[in-house]
Amino acid sequence: MADPTASTPPVPAASLALTPPAGLSSAQVAERRSRGLTNAGGERTSRSVAEILRANIFTRFNLILGVLLAVILVVGEPQDALFGIVLVTNALIGIGQELRAKRTLDRLAVLSAPRVRVIRDGAPAEIAVEELVADDLVGLRAGDQLVADGVVRDSASLQADESLLTGESEPVDKRAGDRLLSGSFVVAGSGDYQATGVGAEAYARKLAALLVISQLHTQENRQEAATSTVAALVGMVPQGLVLLTSVAFGAAAVALARRRVLVQQLPAVEGLARVDVVCLDKTGTLTDGTITFDSLIRLDDRAPAEAALGALADDENRNATLAAIGQAFPPPPGWARQDGVPFSSARKWSAASFAGHGAWVLGAPEMVLPGGQDGLLSRAADLAASGRRVLVLASAPGPLDGQALPPGLHAVAFIVFAERLRSDAPDTIGYFAAQGVAVKVISGDSPRTVAAVAARAGVPRAGDPVDARDLPEDPGRLGAVLEERSVFGRVTPQQKESMVTALQSRGHTVAMTGDGVNDVLALKLADIGVAMGSGAPATKAVAELVLLDNRFATLPGVVAEGRRVTANIERVANLFITKTVWATLLAVAAGAALLPYPFLPRHLTIIDTLAIGVPAFFLALAPNRRRYLPGFVGRVLRFAGPAGLIIAAATFSAYALARARGLPLTEQRTAATLVTLILSLTVLALLAMPLTWRRIVLLIAALAGFALLFPVPAVRTFYALELPHGAIGSTLLIAALGAAALAGFWALSPSARPRTGLGVRE
């Protein structure tokens, strides 16, 4: 496939059947739908039902256990096939949990679904993305993401960013006849285009499409050999770990959905726990996003500042700032717009020229005022220090010259705007500080404005802001500045990207919040992108999470949910991996000593159910406020290795002692099962610290469940259990010594504890 981004020449008029300005008629839309020329591409927030079934049934663990189950059913006893119930139950629970999460996420996704503006039957309309058809006329504004390929029909200084497709960071000017690619987004200006490549023919979609221990000589018959081999292998498989991980992630997605947080990628839940830096904008995050006109400070009494402001605000594609100006200054008569330059986060100014009134520029004083006006810049900085946004209105006698500032600019007035601090911002910032999460306020406004607002919100080190125009370009030096400072003003979109990558290069996990088109690339690069529900369609398209209620105060709960899930998964991972270690070591020891395996599969089902599976399910969904520390895998291995070794040694000792005393094989295996169960419950108690009354009840219930297997002879026979008469005292003594060894290991090896924070209690 040829790369359509290599060049984007204008499309000859003869090669394209132009849709009339009135758009397609209803009949033409219906005809294209009948031919399948729609934009339905199958995108969805969650997996399909078929994918959920496949993912939970056809797993590696299920394949291994399924083969072992088949072996037992052919040559063994039905009692030893009980682990098959666990196999089926795991799959059913996983399917049920994912279907529940799917229903919740799909309902929530409807609220955040993108829509496009089209012209049909001569009237504008908003439709769902999948309802777009070939040749539809689509309107574009800053912040829109293109959902189909097309050709520009009309452009008002339209600029598109194609970096998500091509890697080219500079926005591209788009004029009538130029090609537009799906997946790119509008950064400035406005216009409309005719959709040509929809559905599977869109460029972005085409890009995505490319882009066993043998014991035969120690057993009396092959049936016993097969049963022992299956028992050894079943013990090594951490059957419920993948299930509980999926359940925990799915439950977290549902819990976040109740807080009106749309999780667009489930792995983002785990990523939330690792976040240690949050980068956020001032407007719409620390403040409530509303901008109101505060005052006009004249610098030239002779200039028609009010009329010029009203004329500049008389723009159908005006941003929030111009909308606030428009509410204060009505459009003046006799000001006919001739040309214009739309606002850009990179330029930080907008302009327009009017017949008989010259050119007028509105923007950041530092970017608009020519050199040699230090007095005015100092005055603007003093106004900004109060936390208000300050823009300068300047005029020039001549016309605009492309997208450069016109010569001869003369400052006419300062326009001051007020923003309201969110009432919950200080508590949110305080939460992040207590959790060890650094906050970096990154804004395009004046550093002194940003600093004043950040200080009111309680951001640490807010009194020492940085002007981003002075930041070094070298990633190493930039990272050092970011470590030391917290507030940055006059930041360009490209600098936001550089800041994210510089922090990541220093080992940080970065969450980026944003709502404007200038945040898109930084959101894409961040480990976790968080978009506001009212944000630009492009920001919501690239973010992993969408805060549908637009509340900054939701973020602490989002991070806490990620940390709860990860901390609990670490707990249950230790249970399952410890079991894998002792089961493997026992298999090796029994094979080396030419002894039967110490368990039958039904014995392992008892241990799995009472000491690992059921308790792990409760632990995976329990509250947990522990802080996250990196090194998850290392901590699991440092704990599971020694703990599994202690359990294996104690179990084999009890098994060997019962065998040495000439006890029947059933009693030998019961001794091994009893020791393993007690020590597995000891591991459970250590991992569940601090012990609440609910967890104590859980431990007692597990012991009681094992004890209830013995009074009824039929139950004992079914599970092949018989207390080791004459060795019960030594068996319990070995179990007690093993428990003491586990407790001593826990106390003396803090680095091996599966903890996610120090000194933080649940």
Is 384:344 a contact under the CB 8 Å cutoff?
no
Those residues whose C-beta lies under 8 Å from the C-beta of residue 237, and which sit 6 or more positions away, are 61, 64, 65, 580
Catalytic pick among 281, 445, 519, 608: 281
Q: Mapping DSSP to helix (H, G, I), strand (E, B) and coil, where does residue 480 land?
A: helix
CB 673 within 8 A of CB 586: no
- Vertex 463 angle, CA 459 and 468, to 5°: 90
Contact between 82 and 231 under an 8 Å Cβ cutoff? The reply is: no
* Alpha helices (H) in 415-550, listed in sequence order: 425-434, 447-457, 475-484, 493-505, 520-525, 537-542
Task: Report yes or no: 713 and 643 within 8 Å, Cβ to Cβ.
Answer: no
- N-term to C-term CA, the chain: 56
Residue with tokens 């230090």: 374
Give the integer Cα–Cα distance in Å for 82 and 72. 10
493, 444 in Cβ contact below 8 A? no
DSSP state of 608: I
Neighbours of 474 (CB within 10 A): 11
* Owner of token pair 């202690």: 646
Write out the two tokens for 482. Answer: 């970011």
Report the 3 state secondary structure along 253-315: HHHHHHCCEEECCCHHHHHHHHCCEEEECHHHHHEEEEEEEEEEEECCCCCCHHHHHHHHHCC
CA distance to 337, 585, 647, 683, 752, per residue, from 650 (Å): 88, 12, 5, 14, 20
Give Cα 100 distance to the centre of its chain.
19
- The SS3 assignment for 412 reads strand
Catalytic, 281? Answer: yes
Residues annotated as part of the active site: 281
